[in-house]
Homo-oligomer: A and B are copies of this chain.
Amino acid sequence: MAKSARLSGFPERLPAERVIEKRIIDILEHTFALHGFSALHHRAVEPISQLAKDGEIDKEIFAVSRLHSEGTERNPLGLHFDLTVPLARFVTENANELSFPFRAARIQPVWRGERPQAGRYREFIQADVDVIADAELPGHVEVEIPLIIADAFARLAPLGVPPVRIVVNDRRLLEGFARGIGLTDIPAVLRCLDKYDKIGPEEVAKLLAAEAEADERQQQLCLALAAIESDSPDFAEEVRALGVEHPLLDEGLESLTRMLTAAAERAPGVLVAQLKIARGLDYYTGAVYETQLVGHEELGSVASGGRYDSLATVGKKTYPGVGMSIGVSRLMAFVLGEDSGITASRGTPSAVVVAVTDEERRSEADTVATALRARDIPCEVSPSAAKFGRQIRYAERRGIPFVWFTDGESGHEVKDIRTGEQTPADPQTWEPSVEDRWPQVTQG
């Protein structure tokens, strides 16, 4: 006996909302396929030892265990919290069956035991693309990945999804800069810089002193770096002007310059170097990316990722990768909000309700429906032989545009219930318009 049991942080969509979500997923899936990414689907669980890095167990993980399992589980499991860790495990497990560099796309739910809040869920859908190499991962992949995400958002634009700004940085650049000015606790520096937007430059300076032992000059140089923001490859000159030298800084600058040069040609205005972003997850070792919906920055990042060089290792062999993840559920928080104006024309796929004259003659209606479906027209047969007025209201309530009347003697007629127009029709040839055949997702 089902009772209402809404669970905070576990969004479920109503039919018309799911039409929109599914359309977004289909567009992303298609974009990823056009760019040559093999679609995978990961199992939901991983050994907790795999999910908890370096033995440190994260509160955000949902543990999974059999109810009434006898004794303790030998290999305790948890739900994956992203799609990168499962991919790294999948690649090492199946390395002999894959060709490298391996291009993988996945669109599926992930779970985190966080406190639910606006745009943050306990179950949410991510759409990921990753390229994983079996030895050297060429730097141009770090350029390619954000441009694929830019392409994906460009393909979502006709639905009414706003343009994006992909902000990029490079961990090598940050590390090289920090080392070049004499700082050594790199994780602490990254942690401090990552709070720039939240707490502002002055507090970051204090934090750098407290946590990374940065003196006045080091603090000021870090803040000067963090303030640099540009969509032109010329940003590198601003960095150089700070007078810091380090081989890792050169590597990062070169990679970021290449990214902005390519972006200027292939997705002008979309990529912006923002040297304050560092990203929380500490498996990143090169490029890092975040993505804002222009005009809706308060939503947070809708697509993030980076380069990870040592997430997937077997013995001495490592599989470096670069990937980005689109937060489909977070994007949906915007799409379903009042600002977006994005709607589905209906929540049911049916374009036609075939009316039933009386129950004895239901099979006539079934025959019409079968003929329509054979020509790829979605339809359903009226659930009852009620008065036609009621059958029309059945269609109306669902936003189904057409009702089909069939009568052995007088033949077939189809009514557009929006205009009331009723015309003779043949189940072997009648066609709805392209807009009416399947539910449409549009803005306004």
CA distance A380 to B144 in the complex (A): 11
- A112 to B: closest C-beta gap in Å: 9
- The tally of residues in A whose CB lies under 8 Å from a CB in B reads 105
Nearest chain B residue, comparing its CB with the CB of A58: B67
Query: In the assembled complex, which residues on chain B have CB atoms less than 8 Å from the CB atom of A19?
Result: 38-39
- Mostly, the A contact residues are mixed
Given contacts A35-B373, A38-B347, A38-B348, A43 and B265 within 8 Å (CB-CB): no
Given contacts A34-B373, A348-B103, A92 and B18 within 8 Å (CB-CB): no
A363 beta carbon closer than 8 Å to chain B: yes
Query: In the assembled complex, which residues on chain B have CB atoms less than 8 Å from the CB atom of A359?
Result: 140
Given contacts A15-B38, A41-B18, A3 and B61 within 8 Å (CB-CB): no
Highest count of chain B CB atoms <10 Å: which of A58, A64, A373: A64
A433 beta carbon closer than 8 Å to chain B: no
Q: Scan A91-124; emit 1 where CB is below 8 A from any B CB, else 0.
A: 1111001110101100001010100000000010
| Cross-chain contact A314 with B4 (CB below 8 angstroms) | yes
Q: Scan A295-315; emit 1 where CB is below 8 A from any B CB, else 0.
A: 000000000000000111110
Query: In the assembled complex, which residues on chain B have CB atoms less than 8 Å from the CB atom of A111?
Result: 44
Number of copies: 2
A431 beta carbon closer than 8 Å to chain B: no
A78 beta carbon closer than 8 Å to chain B: yes
Given contacts A18-B39, A138-B383, A88 and B2 within 8 Å (CB-CB): yes
Query: In the assembled complex, which residues on chain B have CB atoms less than 8 Å from the CB atom of A79?
Result: 44, 64
| Cross-chain contact B38 with A89 (CB below 8 angstroms) | no
CA distance A46 to B397 in the complex (A): 30
| Cross-chain contact A59 with B66 (CB below 8 angstroms) | yes
A262 beta carbon closer than 8 Å to chain B: yes
Query: In the assembled complex, which residues on chain B have CB atoms less than 8 Å from the CB atom of A381?
Result: 144
Query: In the assembled complex, which residues on chain B have CB atoms less than 8 Å from the CB atom of A39?
Result: 15, 18-19, 22, 349
A63 beta carbon closer than 8 Å to chain B: yes
Could you write out 13 A-B pairs with CB less than 8 Å apart? Answer: A2-B89, A2-B91, A5-B47, A12-B42, A22-B39, A35-B380, A44-B111, A59-B66, A59-B67, A60-B66, A61-B67, A62-B66, A63-B67
Given contacts A64-B79, A101-B383, 15 further A-B contacts (CB under 8 A): A2-B91, A5-B89, A7-B77, A11-B43, A12-B42, A18-B38, A19-B38, A37-B349, A44-B109, A44-B111, A59-B66, A63-B65, A67-B78, A144-B381, A266-B366
